[in-house]
């Protein structure tokens, strides 16, 4: 910082309010009057090698109220307000000291095993956390920095409507910078700001929320739901109008798919009730379709009219959909590295693997990469219809819809075996700006205590650039640490 720059004399009535919502203990709000229009930067200074957290706000004038995010717990934080002219010149600054409390005992220990700071995507790690020390709900999302320090979390234990929050897959960021999540306890979709204030909610009459809600381009939401009154669960998808607050589309998977298929045992619950177990969905803007992950069926691409485009799954047990379509015609033909079709019936059926190709088993977290290929977290439960090979993978598939083929392009995790094996939950993301993939098994039980890992890998070389182990005081169900993790800047982009 420029030590020659003095304190701003054009602001007055400065007030600091710690945790203004009452639900985000490592936040504050600062308000003041300013007599001239300026850009303002809020800087929370990093400690012991940690990076500064910076939020920039354009053309502030008159009464100004700004969020302070990323405070260190149990610390008097040095926070700088930097005032910048229209020509991007620093003209003044004010120093504030803001004390933040200890974190609650439910939050985990985080150990950083690998860190190559310059090679990883900048930002903090938003964990959709399941672990606890007392009550399982409300669930407690938190963010930690690259040093393993928790710098933000939400604590809804005293919230009037979210004290039993169950967000399942967890929290996503909206295009406007706010947070988006569903609540299975109240069957609502919730938009919230970074200070923990509810901005808007959407109900879903006739349906109950589970797992995931995402934002479509244009603002509508797609959510995985249960249909009330149905004898089955986790087999419907709905689209909710952002402005209308109404349900504008419904996908009934009992019609587009095959309810009676039981090639993959559920391994928990009643599969006659929970036969598909939708655990993830992604929208494909290239052709206005959705891609749905069903834990016990495979990964399915569906049109807006609920017609199957393709199926990524072993070829065992497929026949006719509820609406009369032969689903064998939607199965993809795997290719080897030479581009030739793999014709081995054991590979097609899923009884064995090919050196160039493996199916994904009990997968989660479908994501489309910039080139249109499909990224999955391959949990590996019941791999090849057996429990003998226990490993999870991040895996990338290239699909040629016109040819009906699928090719395995990239994978990570197989060589790490049980160390990163997570038979349920978990996440995988691609960071295009760094060309890195983040592999996130969320329910590892092979170590001294249940834990989850976040492992960032150089896509080209396979080198691990960042690795963190997240160990809760008590894992949910003695198993789950988290469902998803997202790397993002704590201050939303402006």
Q: Which domains does the chain have, with CATH numbers?
A: 11-100 (2.60.40.3100), 109-488 (2.120.10.30)
Average pLDDT over residues 143-161: 97
Please compute the mean of the pLDDT values over residues 229-247 and round it to a whole number: 98
**What percent of the chain is helix, strand and coil (3-state, nearest 5)?**
5, 45, 50
pLDDT of 121 reads 95
pTM beyond 0.85: yes
Distance CA(197)–CA(29), nearest Å, equals 12
User: What whole-number distance in Å separates Cα of residue 334 and Cα of residue 345?
Assistant: 11
pLDDT at 442: 98
Task: Categorize the per-residue pLDDT at 4 as very low, low, confident or very high, splitting at 50, 70 and 90.
Answer: low
Ranges 50-64, 119-133, 181-195, 219-233: which has the least confidence: 50-64
Query: Is 494 a residue whose pLDDT tops 80?
Result: no
| Interval 316-334 mean pLDDT | 98
Strands of 452-458's sheet, edge to edge?
A: 109-115, 464-471, 452-458, 436-440, 427-431
Q: How far apart are CA 250 and CA 223, in angstroms?
A: 10
Residue 80 has pLDDT above 90, yes or no: yes
Confidence at residue 347, expressed as pLDDT on a 0 to 100 scale: 98
Q: Determine the pLDDT at residue 464.
A: 98
Which of 85-89, 301-305, 341-345 is least confident?
85-89
Whether residue 47 is predicted with pLDDT greater than 60 in this model: the reply is yes
**Whole-number Å distance between alpha carbons of 269 and 293:** 18
Asked if the model's pLDDT at residue 291 lies above 60, the reply is yes
Could you give the 3-state DSSP secondary structure of residue 414? Answer: helix
Can you tell me the distance from the alpha carbon of 193 to that of 199, in angstroms, rounded to the nearest whole number? 7
Which pairing describes strands 179-183 and 188-192: parallel, antiparallel, or unpaired?
antiparallel
Q: Taking a C-beta distance cutoff of 8 angstroms, is the pair 394, 364 a contact?
A: no
Task: Supply the pLDDT for residue 2.
Answer: 45
* pLDDT at residue 1 greater than cutoff 50: no
pLDDT in tens, 421-474: 999 999 999 999 999 999 999 999 998 899 999 999 999 999 999 999 999 999
Q: What is the pLDDT of residues 155-192, one digit of tens each?
A: 999 999 999 999 999 999 999 999 999 999 999 999 99
| pLDDT tens column, 365-412 | 999 999 999 999 999 999 999 988 999 999 999 999 999 999 999 999
pLDDT, one tens digit per residue, over 253-286 is: 999 999 999 999 998 889 999 999 999 999 999 9
CA distances to 24, 59, 104, 443, 452 from 131, rounded to whole Å, are 18, 41, 12, 10, 10
The confidence score (pLDDT) of residue 172 equals 96
The mean pLDDT value for 206-222 works out to 97
Residue 365: which of 275, 433, 440 has the closest Cα? 440
The CA distance from 469 to 477, in Å, is 19
d(CA 481, CA 460): 29
Tell me the percentage of the chain whose pLDDT exceeds 70. 99
| SS3 category, 78 | strand
**Region 198-209 average pLDDT:** 98
Q: How many residues does the chain have?
A: 494
pLDDT at 332 over 50: yes
Instruction: Give the contacts of 5 (CB within 8 A, at least 6 positions apart).
Output: 90, 91, 92, 93
């Amino acid at each position: 910082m420029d030590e020659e720059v003095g304190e701003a004399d054009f602001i007055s009535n400065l007030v600091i309010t710690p945790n203004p919502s009452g639900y985000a203990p490592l936040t504050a709000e600062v308000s003041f009057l300013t007599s001239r229009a300026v850009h303002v930067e809020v800087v929370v200074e990093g400690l012991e090698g940690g990076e500064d957290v910076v939020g920039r706000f354009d053309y502030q004038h008159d009464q100004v109220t700004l969020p302070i995010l990323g405070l260190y717990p149990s610390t008097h934080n040095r926070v700088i307000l930097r005032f910048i002219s229209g020509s991007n010149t620093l003209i003044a600054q004010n120093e504030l000291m803001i004390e933040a409390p200890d974190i609650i005992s439910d939050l985990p220990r985080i150990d950083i095993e690998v860190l190559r700071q310059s090679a990883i995507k900048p930002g903090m790690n938003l964990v959709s956390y399941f672990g606890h020390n007392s009550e399982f709900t409300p669930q407690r999302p938190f963010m930690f920095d690259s040093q393993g320090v928790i710098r933000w979390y939400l604590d809804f234990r005293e919230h009037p409507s979210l004290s039993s929050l169950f967000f399942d897959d967890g929290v996503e960021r909206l295009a406007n910078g706010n947070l988006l999540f569903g609540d299975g306890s109240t069957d609502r979709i919730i938009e919230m700001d970074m200070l923990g204030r509810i901005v808007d909610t959407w109900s879903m009459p006739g349906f109950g929320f589970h797992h995931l809600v995402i934002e479509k381009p244009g603002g509508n939401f797609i959510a995985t739901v249960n249909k009330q009154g149905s004898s089955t669960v986790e087999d419907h998808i709905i689209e909710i109008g952002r402005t209308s607050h109404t349900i504008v589309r419904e996908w009934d998977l009992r019609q587009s798919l095959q309810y009676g298929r039981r090639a993959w045992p559920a391994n928990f619950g009643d599969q006659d009730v929970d036969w598909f177990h939708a655990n993830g969905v992604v929208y494909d803007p290239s052709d206005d379709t959705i891609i749905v992950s069903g834990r016990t069926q495979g990964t399915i691409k569906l049109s807006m009219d609920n017609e199957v485009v393709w199926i990524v799954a072993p070829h065992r047990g497929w026949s006719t959909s509820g609406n009369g379509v032969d689903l064998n015609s939607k199965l993809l033909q795997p290719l080897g590295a030479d581009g030739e079709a793999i014709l081995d019936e054991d590979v097609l059926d899923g009884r064995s693997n090919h050196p160039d190709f493996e199916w994904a088993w009990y997968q989660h977290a479908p994501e489309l990469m910039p080139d249109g290929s499909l990224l999955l977290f391959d949990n590996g439960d019941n791999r090849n219809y057996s429990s003998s090979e226990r490993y999870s993978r991040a895996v990338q598939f290239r699909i040629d819809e016109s040819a009906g083929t699928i090719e395995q392009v990239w994978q990570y995790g197989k060589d790490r075996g049980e160390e990163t094996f997570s038979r349920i939950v978990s996440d995988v993301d691609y960071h295009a700006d760094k060309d890195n993939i983040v592999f996130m098994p969320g329910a590892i039980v092979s170590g001294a205590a249940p834990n989850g890992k976040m492992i960032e890998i150089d896509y080209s070389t396979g080198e691990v650039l960042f690795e963190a182990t997240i160990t809760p005081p008590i894992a949910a169900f003695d198993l789950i640490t988290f469902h998803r993790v997202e790397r993002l800047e704590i201050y939303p982009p402006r």
